[in-house]
Amino acid sequence: MGGTEQATLLDATGVAKSFGAVRALTDASLHVAPGEVVALMGANGAGKSTFVKILTGALKPDAGRVLIRGEEAHVGSPAQARRSGLVPVYQEPSLIPDLDVADNLRLGDTPREAFLHWVHELGIKGVRMDDMIADLPLATLRILDLARALASEPDVLLLDELTAALPTDLVENVLRVVRTQADEGRGVIYISHRFTEIAELCDSATVLRDGKTVGALKIEPGVEDRCVELMLGAKLSLDRREAGAARVNTGVPRLRARDIAIAPKVSNVSFELYPGEVLGVVALEGQGQDEVFDVLSGHVKPTGGTLEVDGTPMHFGHPADAIAAGLSFVPGDRAHALLRERSVRENIALPFSARIRDWGPLKGRHEKQRVDHAIEKLQIDTRAQGEVQRLSGGNQQKVTIGRWLAHGVETLLLFDPTRGIDVRTKRQIYPLVRELAEQGAAVLFYTSELEEVPLACDRAIVIFNGRVVDVIDAADASEEALMRAAYGLTEESAAS
């Protein structure tokens, strides 16, 4: 595509930024030419989001030079960045929750026609201009964010893990649209932890490690290994789990769901989860998997069906009841799970004090032992442990898992635990999940990334349109088979 020797659109060199003791960026640089899609890669906490925020004026750098179309630029605020043609979609949704769609557009002077065009183009239907942002699901918000950015016709589009929370079909639309943007001569900075997307979309990759740009590569077949090497500083790759002998589940299931219904989304979900097994959940966005996890974790009461734990029927009125029954829940949105301004230790130890009988003096040594064990096990980067919000996204996610590791796990409910997590961290999480299962825990594992299912799970249930439509043996399921199942195509495939 666009020749790299052309005048660059965006040229950043030597960008540095510290947050107190944490040096998020030390020497970051990046070049974007017209028509080029640059992948910005790096492990969790490498500084990608920080870089994007600096380029778009949401943060002020401590040092560095930014040239826009060859001219030195001081981007003081997001508004100024927008005027210079730099339009971001940040990692966190940036629409105003209490305004409706129309008002959000007026606020940013976004042309309405163009916006609607892009919403349509990206394949979102049924969004009305008077919908409150707060009422919309996360995936829709991400798309609206993107449509808003596209509508302002940016010169450089900066997309920070836009696809992390998107179902597969929407990801495809996004990739297509972004590609067209580049073909029209715009520049794109694209952040994702998924190599497949990067291979499909990007022209080059700039790799950050520990806040420093360590390399810029052209994307060509086989570049993954080189990228990973640069990102991690050593050669690493994702290995498939060796397909072991298929598990034989006998005895009483740890968790049995029978005909669970949750009006209006879920009509019939039944499954059994046995001790020692990792049961995957395969589903496209919004098929009712959120609701099922809400029921299992005690947040929502089902409108029908029964739930048995170790053969005993259970009714959860509060997450505490589920926890008492041994069910530990790790939500997809870590913002819901973390005490942002408290320490790593307090976050992990939180369940230790939950019940009234634990309101008394803390058991310091006992607590420290178990917390330290969890931190070590998950290799949480504790440089900024005084406040969890200073950790990177990946490390924050580890803390949410570490909490239950320290507390002791019988049944672990993982909802998309690897959303927006880098390869290295993922590589730590799969074996951990396996290990927990081998030690006798039962794990229910939903992931939005289908290729993870064979890596971590023994079996997988497929939820489509609020029902369990299939159970597949995950260990040797191909991605294609999983995909077909997720789209509810199993019956036909069986017929053909």
Partner 1 sequence: MNRRLQKHAWTLGLVLLLAVLMIVTKLIQPSFGATGLESLARAALPFAFATVAMAIVVIVGGIDLSIASMMAVCGVTAAVLMQSMGVVPAVAITLVVGLVMGAINGTLIVVTRVPDIVVTLAMLFVWEGVALLILTSPGGTVAPGLRSLISGAMIPGVPNALIFMAAAVALVWLPIRRSKLGLSIYAVGSDELAAFRSGINVAWTKITAYGLAGLLSAMGGLSLIMLTGIGEPVPGPYLLASVAAVVLGGVVLGGGRGGLLGPIIAVFVLRIIRTILTLAAVDPNVTTIVEGVIMVAVVMLGAVLTYRGARG
Partner 2 sequence: MSEQPRIHADAAVETGFKRFGRYLADNPVIPLIAFLLLLVVVLEIMRPGIVTPFRAGRDGIISTFWVGNLIKFAIPLAMLAACQVLTMLTAGIDMSAGILATVSAFVCATLAPLIGVTPAVMIALGTGVVAGLVNGFGVGIVRVHPLIMTLGTGLIATGCLQVYQRFVISTGTLIPETLVWLGTGRTAGMPNGLFVFVPFAAAVLYLMRFTGFGRLLFALGSNEAAAKLSGVRGWQVYLALYALSGLIAALAGLLYLGMIRTPSLSLANPLLLPSVAAAVIGGTSIFGGRGSFAGAIVGALILRVIDTMLTLLQMPEGARIAFFGLIILLVTALYVRITGAR
Ligand X SMILES: Nc1ncnc2c1ncn2[C@@H]1O[C@H](COP(=O)(O)OP(=O)(O)OP(=O)(O)O)[C@@H](O)[C@H]1O
Span 230-289, contacts to partner 2 by CB under 8 A: none
Binding of residue 164 to ligand X (CB under 6 A) = no
Nearer to partner 1, 106 or 368 (CB): 106
Q: Which tokens in the block code for residue 333?
A: 């949105």
Q: Which helix (H) or strand (E) holds 258?
A: strand 255-262
How many angstroms separate the CA atoms of 453 and 445, rounded? 8
Instruction: Give the residue, chosen from 337, 378, 380, 472, that forms a contact with partner 2 under the rule CB under 8 A.
Output: 337
How many angstroms separate the CA atoms of 469 and 462, rounded? 6
Name which of partner 1, Mg ion, partner 2, none residue 329 binds, using a CB cut-off of 5 to 8 Å depending on partner kind: partner 2
**Region for residue 286 given its phi and psi (left: phi exceeds 0; alpha: psi -120 to 50; beta: otherwise):** left
Nearer to partner 1, 58 or 350 (CB): 58
Minimum separation from the CB atom of position 386 to partner 2 (A) = 8
Taking residues 91 to 130 in sequence order and writing x for each that binds ligand X by CB under 6 A, - otherwise, the string is: x---------------------------------------
Name which of partner 1, Mg ion, ligand X, none residue 452 binds, using a CB cut-off of 5 to 8 Å depending on partner kind: none
Nearer to partner 1, 98 or 113 (CB): 98
Instruction: Give the residue, chosen from 60, 106, 315, 340, that forms a contact with partner 1 under the rule CB under 8 A.
Output: 106
3-state secondary structure of 134: helix
Q: Which tokens in the block code for residue 248?
A: 């034989």
Picking from 155, 157, 167, the residue whose alpha carbon sits closest to that of residue 189 is: 157
Picking from 32, 286, 18, 254, the residue whose alpha carbon sits closest to that of residue 170 is: 286
Instruction: Give the residue, chosen from 26, 91, 104, 447, that forms a contact with Mg ion under the rule CB under 5 A.
Output: 91
Minimum separation from the CB atom of position 89 to Mg ion (A) = 12
Contact 286, 486 (CB under 8 A): no
β-pair partners for 22: 19
Instruction: Give the residue, chosen from 31, 82, 186, 390, that forms a contact with ligand X under the rule CB under 6 A.
Output: 390
**Neighbour order of strands in the sheet with 255-262:** 312-313, 304-309, 255-262, 266-273, 467-473, 459-464, 278-282, 442-446, 411-415, 327-330
How many angstroms separate the CA atoms of 203 and 241, rounded? 31
Minimum separation from the CB atom of position 14 to ligand X (A) = 17
Span 119-138, contacts to partner 1 by CB under 8 A: 130
Name which of partner 2, ligand X, Mg ion, none residue 99 binds, using a CB cut-off of 5 to 8 Å depending on partner kind: none
Q: Which residues bind partner 2 (CB under 8 A)?
A: 18-21, 53, 58-60, 62-63, 77, 297, 318-320, 322-324, 329, 331, 335-342, 346-347, 349-356, 358-362, 364, 403
Q: Which residues bind partner 1 (CB under 8 A)?
A: 58, 77-79, 82, 88, 90, 92-99, 103-104, 106-108, 130
